[in-house]
Amino acid sequence: MEKKRVFSGVQPTGNIHLGNYIGALKQFVNLQDEMDCVYCIVDMHSITVPQDPKQLRETTLDVAALYLAVGLDPKKSIIFVQSTVPQHAELSWILTCNAYMGELGRMTQFKDKGKGSDSAGAGLFTYPILMAADILLYKAHLVPVGNDQKQHIEITRDLANRFNHKYGDTFVIPDYKGIEVGARIMALDDPLKKMSKSAENIHSRISLLDSPDKVKKSIMKATTDSEGVIRLDWENKPGVSNLLTIYSAFTDRKIDDIVGQYEGAGYGQLKKDLVEIINESLTPIRKAFEEKRNSEELMDILKDGRERASEIAEQTMKEVRDKVGFIRM
């Protein structure tokens, strides 16, 4: 039986944090042995908000190096940069012509980022269509992402179904692939908000490349509560629940088991241990990142990835162009 295809992507904006790692990257690595994986650095999504061009080139390579540093293997997975495969933009346009203003207007990300302003970027509005194009181009069955992207997977399914109905069976209808624990890591300073790359307070997140000292500061400062009891209770104890979730993701231990271990202990102990656990995992990632980022091999991997991705993308586009009625030359 043929392996199922997996597609996912990360924006090369800001520093990749624990939420990205636990919600997405860790899944990417786990899937690459069993499935046919395609992982993208989605630079075209990043320009939906202003970017410094020089910086964007740097962060694109940073994310590529981080992909390798966390354990993605270019022999197993296709690793490439979105803008190097123009079929993404091409399919995005065709899907745009089959999408509705209403469904795009209901996307929470657009409502959050566009803030109802007349000068909100049109790219922010059509963002989910480009994301659908990314996924559908590779006929992916599964899309490993954090819980914040679930709505985007739903619209991808709608667009795929609509196209299939109108033009005949073409696209695979993809499924959201989330994890049970850690699909939504919360901000350390305000556990009611998700951890994000753009929050102003640097202690709201831990970036994979943060120094051990910064990790310590951010965890020790993390918001908890005054009850002093370590247990999972998202409603009343979101801060402690978030720390337990991070703990569980890094140790692959069940939360119940961790709670049992800390019976009678205080938040200080939990935080101190968590700092050590995180640093133990991040130190080798930081080291591998430095090596990969400065290696000549990095560009070769991305070129090879572009070739392998283009081959699949072009095959799909040939079919799509035919179906919508574009002439062949």
Q: Applying CB under 6 A, does 190 fall inside the site for ligand TYM?
A: no
Shortest Å, Cβ 22 to ligand TYM = 6
Q: Which is nearer to ligand TYM, 46 or 279 (CB)?
A: 46
Shortest Å, Cβ 36 to ligand TYM = 15
Q: Applying CB under 6 A, does 63 fall inside the site for ligand TYM?
A: no
Encoded tokens for 62: 């940073």
Q: Applying CB under 6 A, does 154 fall inside the site for ligand TYM?
A: no
Q: Applying CB under 6 A, does 9 fall inside the site for ligand TYM?
A: yes
- The one catalytic residue among 4, 76, 150, 197: 197
Q: Which is nearer to ligand TYM, 218 or 261 (CB)?
A: 218
For residues 37 and 31, the answer to whether their CB atoms sit within 8 Å is yes
Q: Applying CB under 6 A, does 139 fall inside the site for ligand TYM?
A: no
Instruction: Give me the sheet containing 36-41, strands edge to edge.
Output: 78-81, 36-41, 5-10, 142-144, 175-177
Report the 10 Å Cβ neighbour count for 8. 23
Q: Applying CB under 6 A, does 24 fall inside the site for ligand TYM?
A: yes
Cα distance between residue 130 and residue 44, in whole Å: 9
What is the four-CA torsion angle of 114, 118, 119, 123, rounded to 10 degrees? 60
Q: Which of 48, 59, 87, 149 binds ligand TYM (CB under 6 A)?
A: 149
Q: Applying CB under 6 A, does 191 fall inside the site for ligand TYM?
A: no
User: Closest Cα partner for 68 from 305, 258, 244?
Assistant: 305
Decide if 113 is catalytic.
yes
Decide if 197 is catalytic.
yes
Decide if 254 is catalytic.
no
For residues 42 and 82, the answer to whether their CB atoms sit within 8 Å is yes
- Binding span for ligand TYM by CB under 6 A among 100-108, 127-135, 243-251, 293-301: 127-135
- Binding span for ligand TYM by CB under 6 A among 7-15, 236-244, 260-268, 282-290: 7-15
Q: Which of 74, 114, 146, 191 binds ligand TYM (CB under 6 A)?
A: 146
Write down the residue that tokens 């699909």 correspond to. 183
For residues 288 and 68, the answer to whether their CB atoms sit within 8 Å is yes
Q: Applying CB under 6 A, does 7 fall inside the site for ligand TYM?
A: yes
Cα distance between residue 217 and residue 201, in whole Å: 12
- The one catalytic residue among 26, 139, 177, 194: 194
Cα distance between residue 232 and residue 225, in whole Å: 12
> Binding-site residue total for ligand TYM (CB under 6 A)?
26
Q: Which alpha helices (H) appear in the chain, and where do they start and end? A: 18-20, 26-31, 43-46, 53-70, 87-96, 101-105, 108-114, 122-137, 150-167, 212-221, 238-251, 255-261, 267-293, 297-324
Q: Which of 20, 59, 241, 248 binds ligand TYM (CB under 6 A)?
A: 20
Report the 10 Å Cβ neighbour count for 157. 18
Q: Which of 141, 184, 216, 292 binds ligand TYM (CB under 6 A)?
A: 184
Cα distance between residue 154 and residue 55, in whole Å: 32
Q: Which of 5, 6, 11, 139 binds ligand TYM (CB under 6 A)?
A: 11
Point out the residues that are catalytic.
Answer: 113, 194, 197
Q: Which residues here bind ligand TYM, judged by CB under 6 A?
A: 7-11, 19-20, 22-24, 42, 45, 131, 134-135, 143, 145-146, 148-149, 152, 183-185, 194-195
